[in-house]
Every structure is written in C-alpha cells, then in structure tokens.
Structure 1
C-alpha cells in the first residue's frame, strides 16, 4: 500500500517511493519470507520418510502401534492408550524408528510406554506428529519440548522453543534459563539470560534465584559471568567513543 505522495508521484512520473513506504514494503517482505520458511519447514516435517518406499513389503509398517502414558496425572486410574500408525511414528522420530524397526519389545508388542507424561500432553504430541499443529500454552509448550527432545522431533522442539521465547518475562526468566540449560534450548537461553542481566539489581531478591542457588549454583556463576562480560564490553565500547 502506497501513501498519497507516492501515488501522486507514480501518476505524474511513473516512479517514486518515499522512505516510509520503502521501509513498510521491506518489513512486509521479511514477514512473508518468514511465513514461507515456516510453511516449507512444516511441509518437510509432514512428508513421509523413505522407509515406505524402500521396503519390499510395508504390511508390518502400516500396522497400528499404541502409545501408553504413565504420567503422575494418570497413575491413579487406567488411562486409555493413544493409537498411531507405525509409518507415522517411524517417519517423524528416529527414536520411534529404532524401537519399531529393530528387535525390541516395542516392535513385538506395538506398545510404546511414554513415562512421566499426562494423557492430554501425549495426545497433543501424537496430534502434532500427524498435523504439525498444536494449541500451546506455556505449560504445554514446556511439556512438549521435553517430549520432542527425548524422541528427537526437531520441528516440534523448535516450534515450542519459539513459543516459550516469546513468553519470557521478568517473572519467569530465571526458570526459563534453568529449563533451557537442561534441554539445550539456545534461543530460549539467550532470551532469558538477556532479561536476567537487564534486571540484575533485583535478581537476588527473587525466590527463583534463591532456589537456583540451592539447586544449581553453577548456573548462578554463569549468570554473573555473563553479566560481568557485558559490563566489560560496554565499558570498552564507551572508552572508544
């Protein structure tokens, strides 16, 4: 969409674009590129992998498997297992592929036990394997990222990490920093650390900080090292200007 001055310039001279229109067009182009990249990633994820084409007989591959949750929320009563096609599980996760294509208990029984997960989270996980879509909140993103890392579903891990990164704030930065360390979530780690450093003055007053000191003092040391490094770099930059 051009502004009035650009439209008039185009009508008069068949040319001309003001700075504001140029910047707006550039931003729109970048947004479209990101959307296209996301769609390409989703299509690549949903495309069935080569085992279906390579095997002479795919009868066994197409048999159903079931994923059985055994989280704390489902321990007190019988929880229904979640059915899934072996072909989908094999094509989406190298861990499931190893379980179902080799002489393992899961391959013989068709039952894959998923520990420390609720039925609702596991159902969302399986739904994502089929559709590359899931409705996230902060808790669901956290739980699904853990599952995605465990079963090497990289597309889902990236998706959850982006969502969690967008939700980082002063109240959850310390918790997200510790979580990102445990699960090798670099983007989330950097976002949380940046926010922590910006609010170092109130860091020691937070309960999350006190818990981190007790549970993992190594991370506290890393936070202060990053803070001091930034201070030194800032000082060096100021001295050269």
Structure 2
C-alpha cells in the first residue's frame, strides 16, 4: 500500500497514513534505523494502539535492541498539537513488547513519528549494554586520545621545544608551557625571575635521563606501563619534588602491589620519606602482623643506620603491639 512506507532520517522515522478507519489495523513497511529493520503498526477501535518492534530475523534475535524513544501522533494539516508519548526505554524483540494506547480520536490523514533517543544492543551475559551511537562521553574520549597523540608527538619529535632538562647522564628537550601546566613547581620556575626562566634550562641532577624521559612521557600522557613500572621509585621522588599529585598516587598504588621481604624495608623508607600512609601501613603490617621481620633481618642493620628516628620509634611500638597479641 502507498501509505505503508516510512520515511527516515538518522534517528527519526515518520509514517503518514492516508485514512485510518475504525476497527482496522495497519502495518508499515520495514524501515532501517541503527542496525535493525523496524515496523510500526497501528490499530484503531475505541482507542488508538501504536506498536514499535524490530523485524523478526537473526539480528533481532541474537542482538535485540534496547530502544529509548518518543512517539508523536498528529493530523496532517490540523491545528491540534501532537499527542506525545512519555520517553520509553525498553528491550524490544517482537510486537508484543511495546504498545502505546492513545485515548484520543484522530480522523483523516495521520502522521506517526518515532524519534530514537538512543539504541543499545542487549547483552546475553548480563554486562552493561552499549550504545551504538557515539555519545558525549565517547566523543570526549576520542578528543582526549587525539590530544594525547599530539602531545606525545611533540615530545618524541621535539616539535618547537623551548626548554632543556639536564639530568645526571644526559639532556632532553621539552616545552615549558606543558611542564608549567602539570607542575606548580615548574610553573613557579618560569613565572618568577629564577635562573630557569632566564636560561630555559632545568638541572635535575638526581635523576637519570631514562627516568626523566619516563617522567616526561607521563606528563605528556604517553607513558608505557613497562617504563612506569621500571622507573616508579624515581618517578615517585620526582612527583614529590615537583608536586605532581596524581603521579605520586599512581606510584604508591604500584608499590603496594609487590611488597616482599627483599624490598619491604626500602618501601618503608620511601613511604616515610614521602608521607605515603597506605604504603607505610602495609609495610608495617607485612613486617610485624605477618611476622616477616625475621625474613628481612639481614637488612635491618643497614636500615637502622639511615632510618629516621621517629620511624624507628614507630617500628618499636609495632613490635610491642605484636608481643601483646
């Protein structure tokens, strides 16, 4: 029939019906929105019943849609405002899954609009359904990836660098604006009349050039996991020195993951020095609650020669607490 065709745009489908008489049922031709073919049907008796459902087939069976949509009905050429449904958000498999009863009489030529606000693919394993359309979060993620790719290229290719960093065993080039944006310490160097502002040179003699590159890769958003893991202690020191809080947290989180008898005293010293409360707590727990102090006893002498007095007092208190237990 001529009036069974549905016109579509990206997310809107419109069905024009020439004349719907009482006690009749009409079904539209299939129309494509997203990855599914759809049908609209309308039944008129005391009420007007509108249905929306995907066309039966392999796709709708294996990947049924969860549709968020709004329906509107109005007379062609009429002055009445459209009858608008609430926003529906339903899993649709067949014509029995959704019906909208309209308690209003429509005569003559009708238009039925369905506007899809979102379409998701229902999952069979209970995982969260994902939209088939890019949303604000996806667009922001894409923009972030593009920006990080550009920043990484600026560092790797040395594009328009304007500052030199001298390390213990080499030099690297960077961008003062990016360093200043990520670290208030770097920002202060370039903002005030310090030698770094005048010479465009930063001397970081307590870090290797490899660790410095790992630090810059983190700042520019392109660090690799293996580089972070290998240089995490050096990165922790740099993060504390240059007040890069998120890097400091990431280093502490990583150092918590592999405490053992060979590194626990070193980790405890780092935790005390850089005020990492979670790392300090876990190291003390490992040593005293789990009784691993005996496994590290060969390193205790060297540790006590350099350990802070307050840290040794805290360790002694832990010993007393363990004896009470």
**Fold in common (TM above 0.5):** yes
CA deviation after TM superposition for structure 1 residue 231, in Å: 5.5
2:194 pairs with one of 86, 89, 104: 104
Q: Which residue of 1 aligns with 2:43?
A: none
Q: 2:166 corresponds to which residue?
A: 68
Structure 1 counterpart of 2:239: 148
Contact 2:286 / 2:292 at 8 angstroms: preserved in 1? no
- Distance in structure 1 (CA, Å) of the matches to 2:247 and 2:308: 30
Partner of 2:215: 125
Distance across 2 between alignment mates of 1:126 and 1:105:
21
Q: Do the aligned partners of 2:259 and 2:283 also contact (CA within 8 Å) in 1?
A: yes
Q: Which moved more, 1:86-95 or 1:133-142?
A: 133-142
Structure with more helix by fraction: 1
Query: Given the superposition, is the C-alpha separation of residues 228 and 112 from structure 1 closer, same or farther in structure 2, using an over 3 Å criterion?
Result: same
Rounded to whole Å, the distance in 1 between the matches of 2:177 and 2:292 is: 53
In 2, Cα distance between the equivalents of 1:137 and 1:129?
Answer: 12
Kept in 2: contact 1:180–1:186 (CA 8 A): yes
The alignment's TM-score, normalised by the length of structure 2, stands at: 0.47
One of 220, 230, 251 as aligned partner of 1:160: 251
* Secondary structure, aligned partner of 1:120: helix
More relative contact order in 1 or in 2 (CA 8 Å, sep 6+)?
A: 1
Is the deviation greater in 163-172 or in 204-213? Answer: 204-213
1:12 aligned residue? none
Deviation at 1:193, TM superposition (A): 1.0
Structure 2: any 5+ residue segments left out of the alignment? 1-125, 129-140, 149-159
Deviation at 1:230, TM superposition (A): 5.5
- Partner Cα distance (1:204, 1:124) in 2: 33
Match 2:176 to one of 86, 90, 110: 86
Alignment deviations for residues 178-223 of structure 1 (CA, whole Å, 9 cap, x no partner):
1211111112111111101134475386222121222237333311
Q: How many residues align?
A: 174
- Verify the 8 A CA contact 2:214 2:228 in the aligned structure 1: no
Name the TM-score, length of structure 1 as normaliser.
0.62
Aligned to 2:204: 114
Checking the alignment, whether the CA contact within 8 Å between 2:161 and 2:173 is kept in structure 1 is: no
Counterpart of 1:185 in structure 2 is 276
Greater Rg over alpha carbons, structure: 2
Which residue matches 1:221? 313
Runs of 4+ residues over 6 Å off in structure 1: none
**Contact 2:262–2:296 (8 Å) recurs in 1:** no
CA 1:195 to 1:155, structure 2 compared with 1: closer, same or farther past 3 Å? same
If each structure's strand is expressed as a fraction of its own residues, which one has the higher value?
2
